[in-house]
C-alpha cells in the first residue's frame, strides 16, 4: 500500500484535531518537578515539568502562581498544540504544591556537605590576578558564551593571551569534560580560569551541581571564575569557585582590567609623580639654600667680621657712654663747685659777721674805751673791786683811769 504524502502543516493539523477531539487532553492532571521557570511582565508564566524520564513545557495565566524551581506540583489543564512550531504545551488552569523535588533535595544535601567540608569559606578563596598575562576559558567553542567573553576581554585588555578549552557544557559528559579542562589549563599554567556557559533550564545546568566538578574547582591551584547561566541561576560550582559572575560577559569584565581606565590612571599617576618630584626638587633646593646660608653664616671670616662689627659697635657705645659720663661728671663738678663756693662764701660771711660781732662786743667791753667815757677801775690789793661793799673805811685802793693810776684812801660817810 502506498502511503499518502503529507505536508508539515497537514501533519500538525491532524495532530491538533486529534488532541482537541480527544477529551483526555482537554482536562488532564499532571504531577512533576518545576524547572526552567520564567515569569513575564505581562502576567503569564512559562515553565517546564519533569520526572525521572521526561519533561513537558507548560504555561499559565494564573496571577497567584507561586512556585519556584525544585517544587513538585500537581497541575490541572489542557494540552495545546502550537501548529506553527510543531510543539505542544500544557496550559495550566489550577495547581497545588506537593513538596520539594528530588533535584532540589540532592542540591541541598551536597551544598550542606561541601559547606561543612569548608569548600565555601571566603578565607580560602584565591585572589583573581589584577593584570593577568593569560586566561583559560572552559566553555563550548560553538556557544554564544565564548564569543561574549572574547569580545569583552579583547575590548578591555587586548594584551592578554586567551586559551579556549572546548568542553561539553550540557549532557552526560559535562562533568568529565570540565574536570579535564581544569587539569589541562593548570598544565598550561594560565593566570585565571573561567568556566562559563549561557542560560538554560534547570536540567541543562544541573551538571554543574556535581560533587566531582566542585572538588576539581576546590583543588585547582589557579583562581577560577564561575559564570554558569544567568543572574538568577545558582549552581554548586558558583559557591566553590573563587569568584562568581552572573553572566559570561560579567566574567570577562571581572577577569581583566579596563586598559583605557588603566591608561587614565597611569596618566594621573604620572602627573602626580611629576608634581611630587617637582615639589621634592623645590624642597631639596630650599634645604640646600638654607645649608649654604648656614655654612656662610658659620664661616670663620664671617665670625671674625661679626666680632669686629660687634667690637666696633661696643666701642661706639662706650664712647657715647664715656662722653655722656664726662658731661654728667663735669656738670656734677660744676654744680658741686658752685655749691661749695656758695657754702664757702656763706661760711665766710657768717664768720665775718661773727668776727664783726665779736669785735663789736670786744670794743664795747674794752676798758680803755669805757674809761674814756669817764669810768675807772678800782683795785684793792691787786684785785678789782666790783662792789662798794668790798671796801671799808681807810682801805687803800688804786684807781686806774685812762690817762694814769692814782692811790686813794677810802673814807666812810
What DSSP line would sit under 7-36, residue for residue? -HHHHHHHHHHHHHH-GGGTSEEEEEEEEE
CB neighbour class for 30 (10 Å; exposed up to 12, middle 13-18, buried from 19)? middle
Rounded distance between C-alpha atoms, residue 264 and residue 270, angstroms: 10
147: its cell numbers: 564569543
Rounded distance between C-alpha atoms, residue 256 and residue 348, angstroms: 124
Phi, psi of 402, deg, nearest 5 = -60, -30
Mean pLDDT of 373-395: 82
Rounded distance between C-alpha atoms, residue 189 and residue 132, angstroms: 11
Mean pLDDT of 38-44: 88
How many CB atoms neighbour CB 55 within 10 A?
A: 16
Give CA separation, 99 vs 105, 133, 315, in Å. Answer: 10, 49, 114
pLDDT at residue 182 greater than cutoff 90? yes
Contacts of 32 (CB under 8 A, 6+ apart): 49, 50, 51, 55, 56, 72, 73, 75
129: its cell numbers: 590576578
For the chain, the maximum distance between any two Cα atoms, rounded to a whole number of angstroms, is: 237
pLDDT at residue 86 greater than cutoff 90? no
Which long-range contacts (C-beta less than 8 Å, at least 24 apart) are formed by 47-52?
A: 48/201, 48/202, 49/73, 49/75, 49/90, 50/203
Sign (positive or negative) of CA dihedral 128, 133, 139, 145: positive
% of the chain exceeding 70 in pLDDT: 95
Residue found under cell 544541573: 206
Q: Tell me: the pLDDT tens digits for 263-310?
A: 888 888 888 888 887 888 888 888 888 887 777 666 666 667 777 788
Helix, strand, coil percent content, the chain, rounded in steps of 5: 50, 25, 30
Question: Which DSSP category does 166 fall into?
Answer: E
Band of pLDDT at residue 218, cut at 50, 70 and 90: very high
Q: Tell me: the pLDDT tens digits for 386-399?
A: 887 888 888 888 88
pLDDT score recorded for residue 407: 85
Greater confidence (19 vs 2) lies with: 19
pLDDT at residue 100 greater than cutoff 60? no
Rounded distance between C-alpha atoms, residue 345 and residue 402, angstroms: 40
274: its cell numbers: 611629576
Buried b / exposed e over 353-370, threshold 16 CB at 10 Å, is eeeeeeeeeeeeeeeeee
- Set out the domains of the chain in order of their start, with CATH numbers: 8-100 (2.40.50.140), 106-257 (3.40.50.2300), 367-409 (no CATH)
Greater confidence (216 vs 309) lies with: 216
End-to-end CA distance of the chain: 236
Whether residue 145 contacts residue 227, with contact meaning beta carbons closer than 8 Å, is answered with: yes
Rounded distance between C-alpha atoms, residue 166 and residue 140, angstroms: 5
Rounded distance between C-alpha atoms, residue 398 and residue 24, angstroms: 208
Give the residue from 413, 384, 383, 381 showing the smallest Cα distance to 395.
381
Band of pLDDT at residue 238, cut at 50, 70 and 90: very high
Rounded distance between C-alpha atoms, residue 191 and residue 136, angstroms: 8
Whether residue 136 contacts residue 185, with contact meaning beta carbons closer than 8 Å, is answered with: yes
Least-confidence region, from 7-21, 93-107, 188-202: 93-107
Provide the whole-model pTM.
0.50
pLDDT at residue 408 greater than cutoff 90? no
Contacts of 356 (CB under 8 A, 6+ apart): none
| Average pLDDT across the chain, whole number | 86
Greater confidence (296 vs 235) lies with: 235
Mean pLDDT of 79-88: 88
Amino acid at each position: 500500500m502506498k502511503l499518502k504524502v503529507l505536508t508539515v502543516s497537514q501533519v500538525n493539523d491532524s495532530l491538533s484535531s486529534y488532541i482537541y477531539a480527544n477529551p483526555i487532553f482537554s482536562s488532564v492532571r499532571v504531577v512533576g518537578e518545576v524547572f526552567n521557570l520564567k515569569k513575564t511582565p505581562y502576567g503569564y508564566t512559562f515553565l517546564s515539568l519533569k520526572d525521572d524520564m521526561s519533561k513537558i513545557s507548560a504555561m499559565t495565566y494564573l496571577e497567584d502562581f507561586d512556585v519556584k524551581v525544585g517544587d513538585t506540583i500537581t497541575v490541572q489543564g489542557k494540552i495545546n498544540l502550537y501548529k506553527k512550531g510543531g510543539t505542544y504545551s500544557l496550559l495550566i488552569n489550577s495547581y497545588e504544591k506537593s513538596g520539594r523535588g528530588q533535584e532540589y533535595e540532592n542540591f541541598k544535601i551536597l551544598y550542606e556537605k561541601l559547606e561543612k567540608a569548608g569548600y565555601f569559606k571566603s578565607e580560602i578563596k584565591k585572589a583573581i590576578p589584577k593584570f593577568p598575562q593569560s586566561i583559560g576559558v572552559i566553555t563550548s567553542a560553538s556557544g554564544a558564551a565564548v564569543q561574549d567573553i572574547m569580545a569583552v576581554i579583547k575590548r578591555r585588555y587586548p594584551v592578554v593571551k586567551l586559551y579556549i578549552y572546548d568542553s561539553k557544557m550540557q549532557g552526560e559528559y559535562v562533568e568529565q569534560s570540565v574536570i579535564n579542562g581544569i587539569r589541562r589549563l593548570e598544565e598550561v599554567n594560565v593566570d585565571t580560569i573561567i568556566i562559563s556557559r549561557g542560560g538554560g533550564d534547570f536540567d541543562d545546568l544541573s551538571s554543574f551541581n556535581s560533587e566531582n566538578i566542585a572538588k576539581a574547582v576546590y583543588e585547582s591551584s589557579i583562581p577560577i571564575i564561575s559564570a554558569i547561566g544567568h543572574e538568577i541561576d545558582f549552581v554548586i560550582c558558583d559557591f566553590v569557585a573563587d569568584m562568581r559572575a552572573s553572566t559570561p560577559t560579567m566574567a570577562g569584565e571581572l577577569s581583566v582590567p579596563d586598559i583605557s581606565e588603566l591608561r587614565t590612571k597611569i596618566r594621573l599617576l604620572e602627573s602626580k609623580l611629576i608634581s611630587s618630584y617637582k615639589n621634592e626638587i623645590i624642597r631639596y633646593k630650599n634645604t640646600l639654600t638654607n645649608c649654604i646660608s648656614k655654612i656662610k653664616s658659620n664661616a670663620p671670616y664671617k665670625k671674625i667680621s661679626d666680632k669686629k662689627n660687634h667690637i666696633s659697635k661696643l666701642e661706639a657705645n662706650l664712647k657715647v657712654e664715656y662722653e655722656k659720663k664726662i658731661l654728667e661728671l663735669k656738670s656734677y663738678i660744676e654744680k658741686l663747685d658752685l655749691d661749695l663756693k656758695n657754702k664757702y662764701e656763706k661760711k665766710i660771711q657768717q664768720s665775718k659777721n661773727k668776727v664783726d660781732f665779736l669785735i663789736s662786743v670786744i670794743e664795747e667791753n674794752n676798758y680803755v674805751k669805757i674809761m674814756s667815757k669817764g669810768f675807772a677801775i678800782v683795785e684793792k690789793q691787786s684785785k678789782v673791786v666790783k662792789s662798794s661793799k668790798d671796801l671799808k673805811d681807810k682801805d687803800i685802793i688804786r684807781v686806774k683811769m685812762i690817762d694814769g693810776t692814782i692811790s686813794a684812801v677810802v673814807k666812810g660817810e
